[in-house]
Amino acid sequence: MFLVFQIFVRASDVLNLNEEAFKEIIQGDGLFLVEFFAPWCGHCKALAPEYETAATMLKEKGITLIQVDCTVETRLCETYEVTGYPTLKVFKDGSHAPYEGPRKATSIVSYMIKQTLPVVTSISLENFEDFKASDEIILIAFLDTLDDPLNDLFFSLASKYRNKYSFGLSSDPEVFKKVKVTAPAIYMFKKAEDVYIVYRGKYEYGELEAFLNSESLPLFGELLPETYERYISSKVPIGCIFVSSVEEKKMFEASLLPLAVKYRGKVSLVTIDATLYGGHAENLNLKQTWPAFAVQETASNKKYPFDQSLELHAENLDKFLDDYVSGLLVPTIKSEPLPETQDGPVTVVVANSFKDVVLDSHKDVLLEFYAPWCGHCKNLAPKYDILGELFKSNHELGKNVMIAKIDATANDIPDNLEIKGFPTIMLFAANNKGNPIEYNGPRTVESFIEFIHQKGHHRVNAMQYYLTKPSTQQESDSSDTGSIEHDEL
């Protein structure tokens, strides 16, 4: 008996399947990439042409790309825990895993082909050229024998990064002659630049991983949503050049190429389209006038903006970068002015006062990180003011506890603090300021009081003082639902 199911074949080679057809195909042999989408989703629409192009390119390799419309196949999407669109999953041999590559056709093709290869490909003279040309970034280990301890190290690295890069291993003396290499050695081959880079560090996992992450970056790239994660994970400082036109981009790529070579591995030079991503300049403490340049340290998020009163050309930038790598530059901090007075019930903190007011204080400090536009922050404000007034107006309470707030959109936040949404509330206990405790309970005055009492170093309990406050203040607090929702960044 033949199973009849519905398949819609588009002009490209993407299959749009219903639940019955999906289950039938996935249970068979083969490699599949599945996009769970919604027709109204903007990101899905942007992905569509790339996905279709990739489907055509992969068809001849026996790799199938599938779409599932989650507005129709709701049960199927619930089965695979689809919570956002598009969600991409790789299916192979009855199991599935998230797709973790960029959403460009060439990247999709490269990622899916890697799923058909072993973690490390054995390289001989016959397949060397084909393998070297099979991916943008190739890492090959040349070993006299497979018993070399470097083999295990190389395999561990390949297992972690197989979806991003291709890894090969050769013990063939004929290959050694062709490449003119003496084993043991590790080479990186970069197709776009038609170069190979020799690894000269210690044969230790951390050093080899750092080499892979830094040297795999383009000599002079472009910072885009799909490339941002690669630059961040490399931990190499990024030299961001904001440009406002294609002509300006080409001009800087040509004139600054020698600097990209000179500072390779120390600073990764990239262009940023200011017409699309100019807002990032403010994150780097730059004014939105173009062109502009700043160095961003990805590991610490320290920022070193180039003086915008100076002309941005190769000579000035060379001096700036030389001073940076020599440790002569001081990072800038975005900060509001220091408050002239602290008349309000809640102490106002800015970046330039964070250390003095929060970290160096002998008090337990409850600090709210907020954004002026955040609706949840606005709802919290009346209750937070009541809390602040409670501690500020009572000497016994206020001598050991401070209620404070900081506008996290107008002030740089210390690197060790992770603010994922607004409001974020943390308690900096007097005896452990380096490890603040995030508050995730109901946003009521009573709950804040209990949190400070239980988690603060001084164990201050303000509940009896709060209960003697006028009932109108307590009523304004009890009207809140106690929501712990956040406005995302």
- Domain ranges in the chain? 7-114, 121-215, 221-325, 347-488
SS3 324: helix
User: Which CATH architecture best describes the domain 121-215?
Assistant: 3-Layer(aba) Sandwich (3.40)
H or E segment to which residue 487 belongs: strand 487-488
Would the CATH topology of 7-114 be identical to that of 347-488? yes
Q: What is the mean pLDDT of the chain?
A: 89
Pair of tokens at residue 19: 């639940």
Asked whether the predicted pLDDT for residue 470 surpasses 60, the reply is: yes
Pair of tokens at residue 127: 């397949």
- State residue 92's pLDDT score: 87
Determine the CATH number of domain 7-114: 3.40.30.10
CA distance to 126, 314, 367, per residue, from 310 (Å):
55, 12, 39
Q: Which sign does the torsion angle of CA 333, 335, 338, 344 carry?
A: negative
Length of the chain: 489
Q: Please state, in angstroms and rounded to a whole number, the distance separating the CA atoms of residues 157 and 182.
A: 21
- State residue 481's pLDDT score: 43
- State residue 164's pLDDT score: 85
The pLDDT-based confidence of 228 (bands split at 50, 70, 90) is confident
Q: Check if 41 is active-site.
A: yes
CATH fold for domain 221-325: Glutaredoxin (3.40.30)
Task: State what percent of residues in the chain have pLDDT above 70.
Answer: 93
Q: Could you report the per-residue pLDDT of 67-118, keeping only the tens digit for each?
A: 999 999 999 999 998 988 999 999 988 788 899 888 889 889 988 988 888 9
The CATH number corresponding to 347-488 among 3.40.30.10, 1.10.3720.10, 3.20.20.70, 2.70.180.20 equals 3.40.30.10
Q: Write the DSSP symbol of residue 381.
A: H
Asked whether the predicted pLDDT for residue 6 surpasses 50, the reply is: no
Asked whether the predicted pLDDT for residue 485 surpasses 60, the reply is: no
- Axis crossing angle, helix 445-455 with helix 375-392, rounded to the nearest 10: 60
- State residue 286's pLDDT score: 94
Phi, psi for 315 (deg, rounded to 5): -65, -45
Average pLDDT on 47-66 reads 93
Radius of gyration of the chain (CA): 28
Which residue in 44, 70, 77, 240 is the catalytic one?
44
Higher local confidence (pLDDT), 282 or 469? 282
**370 close to 406: Cβ distance less than 8 angstroms:** yes
DSSP string of 174-216, one letter each residue: HHHHHHT--SSEEEEEETTTTEEEE--S-S-HHHHHHHHHHHT
Model confidence, pTM: 0.61
Q: Please state, in angstroms and rounded to a whole number, the distance separating the CA atoms of residues 283 and 411.
A: 10
Average pLDDT on 328-341 reads 92
Long-range contacts of 414-420 (CB under 8 A, 24+ apart): 414/354, 415/300, 415/301, 415/302, 417/369, 419/369, 419/489, 420/486, 420/488, 420/489
Q: Could you report the per-residue pLDDT of 138-153, keeping only the tens digit for each?
A: 999 999 988 888 999 9
